[in-house]
Amino acid sequence: GAVVSQHPSWVICKSGTSVKIECRSLDFQATTMFWYRQFPKQSLMLMATSNEGSKATYEQGVEKDKFLINHASLTLSTLTVTSAHPEDSSFYICSALTGKGHNQPQHFGDGTRLSIL
């Protein structure tokens, strides 16, 4: 149970392109999802918290207009990297909470490798 699917798993595109990444909870409803980015050998850096039906909460230093997050349903959150540039190349991972308790584990997707040429 608690399967999170992330799509696509790999994207290569030209600079200036906007890229959308989907995060779906397959067998549960996720009121809260999180978006992270991870550089090689580094920790997961939280970008934003996504709550169904409301605006995402971004971490300090993350550009809201650059990384658009939409959580339109209880099973889907999307991250759109707008006008992507080579410095946006990274591994983007989403996670979801299955319930409402604050100390529960997060269930992660398998990430999206984004490469901007």
Partner 1 sequence: SQKIEQNSEALNIQEGKTATLTCNYTNYSPAYLQWYRQDPGRGPVFLLLIRENEKEKRKERLKVTFDTTLKQSLFHITASQPADSATYLCALGGGDSWGKLQFGAGTQVVVTP
Q: Which residues contact 3 (CB under 8 A, 6 or more apart)?
A: 25, 26, 27, 107
Which position has the token pair 């996720």? 30
In the complex with partner 1, which residue's Cβ is closer, 25 or 109? 109
Which position has the token pair 């550089």? 39
Pairing of strands 112-116, 90-96: antiparallel
Query: What residues line the site for partner 1 (CB under 8 A)?
Result: 4, 6, 32, 34, 41-44, 46, 49, 93, 95, 97, 102-111, 113
In the complex with partner 1, which residue's Cβ is closer, 38 or 82? 38
Considering the complex, what minimum distance in angstroms separates the CB of residue 48 from partner 1?
A: 10
Considering the complex, what minimum distance in angstroms separates the CB of residue 46 from partner 1?
A: 6
In the complex with partner 1, which residue's Cβ is closer, 14 or 43? 43
**CA 83 centroid distance within chain:** 17
Considering the complex, what minimum distance in angstroms separates the CB of residue 83 from partner 1?
A: 26
In the complex with partner 1, which residue's Cβ is closer, 14 or 60? 60
Considering the complex, what minimum distance in angstroms separates the CB of residue 66 from partner 1?
A: 21
Cβ burial 53-88 (10 Å sphere, 16+ → b, else e)? eeebebeeebeeeebbbebeeebbbbbebeebeeeb
